[in-house]
Chains A and B, each alone.
Chain A
């Protein structure tokens, strides 16, 4: 429980801590206009031996740098000047290890099962505590310092005031851990069903046809989601399509909720998912159907929507 609480608290501030650990790559001084993505990508590619751009992670804040995903790592670029600030290669970091501890105690399947069961154990412990507290209903501390009574009163008072947030924490953690089993129940309770996003295969391009630029792809994607801000643009060389993920500031559902996939030659929309179209059950699970992280690692992984509720509650305790 202590490990889960500590690691969860660190994860709550993961983006901030990550930037704190890499300030020279993360922070920039806003100046002038924002360069087109193609210029940002060219700058990164030139700096790193002409490597192709895999994806763009445009900055969502004027004083934070943009990121360009290359095969050898993630390049950080000042989107106002085109200056390449450096690169981070892929590999395990402290924050990644903290996440591993939180999700599976860094112990594979065995650790994951312990974490899952600890949620149930905590729920049981809270329920039994409430059962024992109910007959006395004590919230005040009357015991004197150094007596057993003081500790008994403290246990009662702290326990009852922290019961609700701890119960929500344990319940959401248990739902995350047992999502495969709990998922059907959630959809039944919300009277909804998972939204399945279909993706058609675009036709073969005409000989000599030129692909769109990433900026053109983003412009098309934004016409389908007015007001949304692009935070990820996958290049068609990697996966066959332009895939633009957008963040709608008015919505709370994160993850890959708003995604437009485009034929790189015609610009036709091949698939479109909006977080506003997600069913109530999908919203609880954060639009998991299209989330690439879950595609590889499954349901029992930290994700934005339910995990952020879990984290938000935990940080307020």
Chain B
């Protein structure tokens, strides 16, 4: 029984995102668009709460809103102007990958995001 519980705990820990604090870089591509958009995030994790900033590069950063880390799931939003970006990412092999929803006042688009730790 103890062995089973240990195995479950180990598997659960493996599946968790761990602390995502730090710099993450990558890109997203909007479905139907013709190019990748660069991304750079500076995450600060405090328990389940995620804050920090993100944007296309170091010089253009937007505050992270409603950020949460639950197990291996990382969710947060960014407002870049008329567009609201909602990220739903999953930690997989030291990478964050998942979906992005972009919403403006009259449009909704989706994209795929891939991030990895930046040096």
Contact = CB atoms under 8 A, between A and B. Distances in A.
B46 to A, nearest CB: 20
A296 B60 contact: no
Contact of B106 (A96, A201, A298): A96
B108 A297 contact: no
Residue among B33, B79, B81, B105 with the highest chain A CB neighbour number at 10 A: B105
A180 B84 contact: no
A225 interface: no
Interface in A84-110: 88-93, 95-96, 99-100, 103-104, 108-109
Given A240-B60, A297-B30, A299-B34, A71 B105 contact: no
A201 B33 contact: no
Interface stretch (A126-134, A160-168, A189-197, A231-239): A231-239
Interface string A9-30: 0000000001000000000000
B35 A239 contact: no
Nearest to A270: B59
A111 B32 CA distance: 8
Contacts of A201: 58-59
B52 interface: no
A46 to B, nearest CB: 19
Contacts of A100: 107
A143 to B, nearest CB: 45
Interface string B67-105: 000000000010111111000000000000000001111
Contacts of A69: 79, 81-82
A74 B34 contact: no
Interface residues of A, number: 39
Nearest to B104: A90
Contact of A292 (B30, B81, B106, B107): B81
Given A108-B31, A300-B34, A295 B108 contact: no
Contact of A296 (B37, B59, B77): B37
Q: Chain A interface mostly helix, strand, loop or mixed?
A: mixed
B54 to A, nearest CB: 11
A112 interface: yes
A301 B34 CA distance: 10
A111 B30 CA distance: 14
Contact of A74 (B60, B80, B105, B108): B105
Contacts of A238: 62-63, 79-81
Most buried by B among A104, A109, A238: A238
A155 B42 CA distance: 63
B106 A92 contact: yes
What class of interface size applies to chain B in its complex with A? 20 to 34
Nearest to B53: A240
Contacts of B62: 238-239
A106 B79 CA distance: 25
Interface string A286-314: 00000010011111110000000000000
B84 A71 contact: yes
Contacts of A74: 82, 105
Nearest to A89: B105
Contact of A55 (B60, B81, B84, B109): B81
The 8 closest A-B pairs by CB, nearest first: A96-B106, A298-B34, A90-B103, A96-B107, A298-B33, A92-B108, A93-B106, A297-B33
28 contacts: A69-B82, A71-B65, A71-B77, A71-B84, A73-B105, A88-B105, A90-B82, A90-B104, A91-B105, A92-B103, A92-B106, A92-B107, A93-B106, A93-B107, A96-B108, A108-B32, A111-B32, A199-B59, A201-B58, A238-B79, A238-B81, A239-B62, A240-B61, A297-B30, A299-B34, A299-B35, A300-B33, A300-B34
